[in-house]
A and B are shown apart, each in its own frame.
Chain A
Amino acid sequence: QVQLQESGPGLVKPSQTLSLTCTVSGGSISSGGYYWSWIRQHPGKGLEWIGYIYYSGSTYYNPSLKSRVTISGDTSKNQFSLKLSSVTAADTAVYYCARDRDGGGWNSFDYWGQGTLVTVSS
């Protein structure tokens, strides 16, 4: 059973960088066929894909966030991380990490972390 767990500060000051880590157990981020993803959900709103890292190290980001986002992986710790720079109150959200399974003509997020609320406030 794959499990994902987000960790990181719950409070970040405006203009600073939000940093979160996702620790994966029961599966390897080095496995092909999976994209290790970050997704966020603003309070009371829908899901927003932030980006993902593939086992090869390739990354893809939501175009609306691309200039501020970096996703990286640490295979030795079986973790992947999110950095979002120059945050504002609009970045306050629940942040989820998830495994994106690629099926060729489809994709699905089959495992999710529990989510972590990050508040941007001074």
Chain B
Amino acid sequence: EIVLTQSPATLSLSPGERATLSCRASQSIGSYLAWYQHKPGQAPRLLIYDASNRATAIPARFSGSGSGTDFTLTISSLEPEDFAVYYCQQRSRWPPSLTFGPGTKVDIK
């Protein structure tokens, strides 16, 4: 079973600052990784798929990079609406399963 770890658990930043979030897989997953944003009381939102492709209508300040076991989500300049929890997600082929990382909370400093 592939395990995802995310760091840091919490990131305290101010609007306008750059956010760098990390996701590490316990074994190589190629580029098969997604990032989601989740705010309390709202539906999660797909931000990045296949490690580096922005989903529909996602602003350019969000970018993803990495392959193999190490992945990064970067928010170039935080907007007030970006304070949320961010999850990475991947699949396992056998047994078929989908897993999320534990999440990184980006809060206002």
A and B co-occur in one complex: no
